[in-house]
A and B are shown apart, each in its own frame.
Chain A
């Protein structure tokens, strides 16, 4: 029998009673690369909210506070590994070199927001819940069948674990011993539905036991813990030991999306508390404690990220209006003759 791991893994301490832990394989340069990724995602998210208020992008799904979960896990991937994001990880491609204007265009409803998944090894943004989990599993299984070393990672939320597609994907992953990481961003909320109304399971990682795969709980606000847990899961996957379910514990400190008003359902005090402990600040404090980060560097990294966003929105806004022909393009390689009749 496979017990799920119930202790929440942490690496970063609090600078007081709880000491910092050790993390393997990250030198100073790598720690700073990870920091740049975290800042880029945070900047993307904060600027997007502003752009939305300015009417420059449409409805936007906020991921403030989830950057560590995204950057830590993505940082553990090998270049050939594939990412299968949900809409909550819409900008994760930035960590693979995708230009911000591509993701901004996606949120602007412009076809320039399409990308070739092969170019970045990032699948298209999955809007429906959990239905991309089997895609990641199929990709990983298919790569394994071809003798390739690529793994896949699927991102989804706590609500997604109630969907049948999650179950079918997880079960296939285990049966096929697919080299895949199932990363659940347990931010405690599915729009207005709290986790307690989503499941009676005490831990989402417990679900892994039923599939015959390890279930690991990690502090999703601790970028190093997420990195380490993902790296371990990938090591298992590449060794032929199959999938791992990672439950990253986070808290949604922002509305579900720009169209949502959480005043009716959320706990404002808890949100305030969680915001104080947000993931970027925790990592910055860690880097300062270890002497890696200076004020000057913080300024430089933030300015660099802001500059990328400024150029990104300018590039997105400079795009010409989409060609109406694009309505008929791409749905088929060989379109049926009646496709233009309407």
Chain B
């Protein structure tokens, strides 16, 4: 075990996977000489050369579009989008090709492409550095999506994504990049896609979240007198419904938390799964705590937008008192 920050764990995973598999290559803006604006790719260019850690032109659709061709030539590209909000040009390639090319070839070709990017707010940055775009990605057939909330999961989920034969988008909560630190297994460490994690056990109410909101839920749980269970979803697709439903069966109450705007967010999907499959376990309506249906605000007032432990605890109390 090593004590690492989340971004160090990402860097560790990239080193380990590039060492393990000579077909893995990293590409993106400023990932080579600079080692990435968050230092996630630091050291890769020196260790593996400029052909396997490629500084690309400033063109997100070009990065993912050429990654499709690189995959066809036998590479396993790991594309970095510098910020989630700058990833939107790559949605064209993701939707029109990345998620459907294998299908289009009758399953004869694989597209083991990983797209990783920082996500979320709370970092006091200018406009369009703090979005939570997971719903765009997870709504795309053929594409899997993971969001770690701990350094160990950041390493393990990224390793799983790189080894996965399907395209995977990994969203890394940038507010957690440098704090808190955590224990990360050395060497080979894979967290399989599709398995949620019970981050805190409790019997009275289930708080379901992913990414940075797991920390918020843990803080909310600590502030509640009732026993709150916190489920860290970890992978939005494939979704581990079993772990969520088992927790709700135990507690009978659930609050689903996401940082993204409320409307058609991934939280709505989780709530729908609970409504369809666990309605008789419920002793109260399932509530959501989310961002609002507005652009992410200027950072001096971002705390007014981001779900807080207080808002989550308040929703938990409402379902507990229902």
Contact = CB atoms under 8 A, between A and B. Distances in A.
Contacts of B96: 128, 131
B93 A336 contact: no
Interface string B123-154: 00000000000000000011010000000000
A178 to B, nearest CB: 8
Interface string B70-114: 111111000000000000010011001101111111111110000
B110 A168 contact: no
Given A169-B65, A172-B56, A114 B73 contact: no
A267 interface: no
Interface string A118-149: 11000110001001111111111111011010
Contacts of A336: 144, 194, 237-239
B73 A142 contact: yes
Contacts of A115: 105-106, 108
Given A332-B142, A333-B102, A137 B69 contact: yes
A116 B61 contact: no
Nearest to A330: B107
Given A124-B101, A128-B96, A116 B73 contact: no
B106 A142 contact: no
Interface string A325-342: 000011111101110000
B51 A134 contact: no
Contacts of B310: none
Category for how many chain A residues contact B: 35 or more
B161 interface: no
Contacts of B295: none
A175 interface: yes
B162 interface: no
Given A114-B106, A135-B68, A136-B69, A338 B238 contact: yes
Interface in B211-256: 237-239, 241
Contact of B62 (A114, A118, A146, A171): A171
Nearest to B52: A145
B100 to A, nearest CB: 7
A5 B25 CA distance: 37
Contacts of A138: 65-73
B73 to A, nearest CB: 3
A134 B69 contact: yes
A137 B92 CA distance: 17
B70 A139 contact: yes
B93 A134 contact: yes
A168 B61 contact: yes
B166 A332 contact: yes
A128 B68 CA distance: 15
Main secondary structure of the interface of A (DSSP, over half): helix
B73 A331 contact: no
B165 A141 contact: no
Nearest to B142: A331
B59 interface: yes
B70 A165 contact: no
Contact of B166 (A117, A148, A333): A333
Given A145-B51, A334-B166, A117 B105 contact: yes
A139 B73 contact: yes
B168 to A, nearest CB: 11
Nearest to A152: B69
A111 interface: yes
A145 B57 contact: no
Contacts of B281: none
Interface residues of B, number: 47
Nearest to B64: A134
B302 interface: no
A301 B25 CA distance: 48
A164 interface: yes
B146 to A, nearest CB: 12
Nearest to B97: A131
B73 A143 contact: yes
A40 B66 CA distance: 32
A131 B69 contact: no
Contacts of A124: 101, 104-105
B65 A337 contact: no
Contacts of A152: 69
Contacts of B66: 134-135, 137-138, 141, 169, 172, 176
A146 B63 CA distance: 19
A135 B62 contact: no
A164 B62 CA distance: 9
Contacts of B68: 134-135, 138
A135 B97 contact: yes
Nearest to A126: B97
A135 B77 CA distance: 13
A171 B144 contact: no
Contact of B59 (A131, A139, A172, A329): A172
Interface in A291-310: none
Contact of B110 (A128, A131, A139, A333): A333
A165 B92 contact: yes
Nearest to A174: B57
Q: Which 7 A-B pairs have the closest CB atoms?
A: A138-B69, A134-B65, A142-B73, A168-B62, A138-B66, A336-B238, A114-B106
9 contacts: A116-B105, A117-B109, A124-B105, A131-B97, A146-B74, A165-B92, A330-B103, A333-B110, A336-B144
Interface of B: 25, 51, 56-57, 59, 61-62, 64-75, 89, 92-93, 96-97, 99-110, 141-142, 144, 164-166, 194, 237-239, 241
Given A119-B108, A134-B65, A172-B66, 18 more contacts: A82-B72, A114-B106, A123-B72, A131-B97, A134-B93, A136-B69, A137-B65, A137-B66, A139-B70, A141-B69, A142-B70, A142-B73, A142-B75, A145-B75, A168-B65, A175-B57, A331-B102, A333-B107
Interface of A: 82, 111, 114-119, 123-124, 128, 131-143, 145-146, 148, 150, 152, 164-165, 168-169, 171-172, 175-176, 329-334, 336-338
